[in-house]
Amino acid sequence: MKALAPKSWLRVLCVFLALAVTARAEFRGAWISAVHNLDWPSKQGLPAAQQKAELVRLLDSAKSLGLTDVFFQVRPEGDALYRSSLEPWSRFLSGTQGRDPGYDPLAFCIDEAGKRGIRVHAWFN
């Protein structure tokens, strides 16, 4: 078998890179809204374990539908669904603005989504 000339290798490399970029460009996503408990958690004040279980079910559903990305709402009303020194915890988690839910929902979402090959995009209002 004859070796490829240097210019041919460059062409082959460009084709592989183009295919890699094209394959990664596919994007199928959904929003997970926390404001007024539209999507998650189903209601305010649920225990952390139940909130986590609900989020896992949403991510499992996203995976089964072939989604590649989720937009996770992390600031519904000038509050936070992540550990912050600037914003209070969201009332949509605990029922009381500023009350720590006992875990970091954004970190949990990123970890669980990653296990399913799903990318997370933080959605700020």
Distance between CA 86 and CA 92 in Å, rounded? 18
- Which pLDDT value is given to residue 102? 96
**Stated length of the chain:** 125
Average pLDDT over residues 6-23: 59
pTM, rounded to two decimals: 0.79
- Per-residue confidence band for 26, with pLDDT thresholds at 50, 70 and 90: confident
- Per-residue pLDDT, 2: 58
Q: Looking up tokens 């949403």, which residue turns up? A: 58
Cβ–Cβ < 8 Å for 101, 48: yes
- Token pair of 1 as six digits: 């078998």
pLDDT band at 13 (very low <50, low <70, confident <90, very high): low
Q: State percent of the chain over pLDDT 90.
A: 76
Give the pLDDT confidence of 70-118 residue by residue, as tens digits.
999 999 999 999 999 999 999 999 999 999 999 999 999 999 999 999 9
Residue 35 has pLDDT above 60, yes or no: yes
Confidence at residue 43, expressed as pLDDT on a 0 to 100 scale = 97
Confidence at residue 5, expressed as pLDDT on a 0 to 100 scale: 57
